[in-house]
Amino acid sequence: DGVGINREWGTAAEKAKYDRAILPKGCKIPLNMTLEVPFESSEEATEYKNSFASLIKALEKGEIRLGAAKTRGLGKVQLFNFSIRESNLSERDGILKALQGKDEIINSAIFLQSSIISSRRKKLTFEINWQPQSPLMVKAEGNGIAVDILPLVSAIDSSLTFVLPGSSIKGAFRFQAERIIRTVCPSLINRNVDFLDQIEVPLVNELFGTRAKAKKETKKGIGSLFIDDCYANKIISPSDWGNIEAATNENNLREALNNANLQNVQQAFHIAIDRWT
């Protein structure tokens, strides 16, 4: 779940709530690609194969993202454990082999070395290990029994850990960048506009991206800043986290946290204050 933030009030913007169905980190997806290579020209066939090899290299390095919200931590994939088969469908024997599943297996290493295409895109990658100075959490969609608000966790292979989504980090950075630009250029401040007009800020759009204002408008920019999800170094087993969710009282919760090696994590109590009494 996510919401847009009203830039004037710092609260959830009207009609700016959105929901996504996502796959957790560590999911494995089978992928099949078919490349049809023309054989009329050897130069053209070589160009096709080189482009295909460049694509596979990019997938191996995790340089290609899939799906939506690619700049906000989602869609990062990496190709592994693959094989390349070649069929000659211009000849009878090649067609029979393809139908029988006896295609020629090509040495992947030799095939990839044949690539002569290199990416011209320049990029900088920063990896930061950090520690919050005060308590920090992102709310999970579901609640526990003893705890009303649980922190968001994400799967890493067969385990779980706390996660700060790339969308949360990028949203905080964008909000700060907009504040800087509006401070330098006060003429950009317009309080009587809707949410989509509030986020139209020069320089910020180019860095963080922009979206179409209406369904018929297709022009939008993806932005040049990509921020991945941030995972805690603490690994939690699914069974231990299930015990935390199922804890019925404070003692059960403390025991479940200790069993999950989360001794430094504690329950925080809050109450609402009646404004009259």
Report the first-to-last Cα separation within the chain, whole angstroms. 35
Tell me the torsion sign for CA atoms 94, 48, 31, 83.
positive
Task: Flag the least confident range among 6-10, 126-130, 181-185, 203-207.
Answer: 6-10
Alpha-carbon distance 258 to 265, whole Å? Answer: 9
Alpha-carbon distance 85 to 108, whole Å? Answer: 9
If DSSP states are collapsed to H, E and C, what string results for the chain?
CEEEECCCCCCEEEEEEECCCCCCCCCCCCCCCCCCCCCCCHHHHHHHHHHHHHHHHHHHCCCCECCCCHHHCCCECCCCCCCEEECCCCCHHHHHHHHHCCCEEECHHHHHHCCCCCCCCCCCCCCCCCCCCCCCCCECCCCCCCCCCCECEEEECCEEEEEECHHHHHHHHHHHHHHHHHHHCHHHCCCCCCHHHHCCCCCHHHHHCCCCCCCCCCCCCCCCCCCCCEECCCCECHHHHHHHHHCCCHHHHHHHHHHCCCCCCCCCCCCCCCCCC
- Give me the mean pLDDT over the 16-26 stretch: 80
Task: Flag the least confident range among 212-221, 222-231, 264-273.
Answer: 212-221
- Please report the pLDDT score of residue 269 as a whole number: 84
- Give me the mean pLDDT over the 240-258 stretch: 91
- Give me the mean pLDDT over the 10-20 stretch: 80
pLDDT band at 257 (very low <50, low <70, confident <90, very high): very high
Asked whether the predicted pLDDT for residue 274 surpasses 80, the reply is yes
pLDDT band at 218 (very low <50, low <70, confident <90, very high): low
Contact 235, 156 (CB under 8 A): yes
